[in-house]
Amino acid sequence: MSHSQPTITTPIASNRAQTTPSPTIAPSSPTTTGPQELHIAGDELGKLIRASVEAFQRCDCWEEFVVTQRGVASNNVHPLDHPASQLLANLHQHGAPVPMSTKPWTPEQLDKAISRGPHTSAKLNNGFIQEEFIDFISKGFWTVLPYSIVKNLSNLHLNPLGSVPQHDRQDRLIVDLSFYFTNQECLPVAPSESMQFGRTLQRILQRILLSDPSFGPVYLSKIDIADGFYRIQLSA
């Protein structure tokens, strides 16, 4: 990566998963190292990281820092004539919650995970990863902070980065939420009808087969929203 310190990188809407709604520990207490001592590189990504570090150190709590880093969310979700408009409005106001069913990680668990680092696929695509970081930080989707200044935040969880090859297009950057069982340990609070994975073709064909022919032929529309999930903020 562009600096020598270990780095935690996650979507900035929430850099930790929480087990309770209690306030987060203020970052000022673990922040004893100034940005000039972190040996952050001077390239474009390094400059963004340094700016995030300085913003982090100016804030009194994690929630305050998140507000300074987030991009601007859409303000047009409330009047939408759509069954999900109320859900979208709630996500806009409060963010998506990330309640966990397990206890917070111990310092030993965190140190072990950061020592293990990202997947090999991310290490082999360092240039691509840096470009993605620059893009996501600039859009307000992510923040990148050295592990040394965030490791004492309450309810911190770590997940390794990976780079997934895509057929005839650019690789896709992922955060592997299954490697340390984050997906499995996260409580399922999202509406069951909000997203369905798997058997897509089967479900489409079934809907076409069961459609009412009195309404005429069936038309399909596929819309790909760039960085769609990153546009849904997590609760801080």
> How many other C-beta atoms can be found within 10 angstroms of the C-beta atom of residue 6?
16
Q: Can you give the pLDDT at residue 3?
A: 39
Q: Can you give the pLDDT at residue 81?
A: 84
Q: Is 2 part of a structural domain of the chain? A: no
Q: Is 25 part of a structural domain of the chain? A: yes
Q: Can you give the pLDDT at residue 12?
A: 44
Domain around 80: 7-231
Q: Can you give the pLDDT at residue 203?
A: 85
Q: Is 64 part of a structural domain of the chain? A: yes
Give the pair of three-digit tokens for residue 22.
């209690």
Q: Is 190 part of a structural domain of the chain? A: yes
* Closest residue by Cα to residue 30 from 70, 4, 62: 62
3-state secondary structure of 150: helix
Q: Can you give the pLDDT at residue 138?
A: 93
Give 84-141 pLDDT, tens digit per residue.
888 888 888 888 899 999 999 999 999 999 999 999 999 999 999 999 999 999 999 9
Work out how many domains the chain is built from and give that number. Answer: 1
Which alpha helices (DSSP H) does 151-218 contain, by range? 182-185, 200-209
Q: How far is CA 217 from CA 207, 211, 222, in A?
A: 12, 9, 17
Share of the chain above pLDDT 70, in %: 83
Q: Is 153 part of a structural domain of the chain? A: yes
Longest Cα pair distance anywhere in the chain, in angstroms? 71
Segments of the chain with pLDDT less than 70: 1-37, 195-197
Please tell me the total number of residues recorded for the chain in this structure. 236
Look up the pTM and report it.
0.71
Q: Is 236 part of a structural domain of the chain? A: no
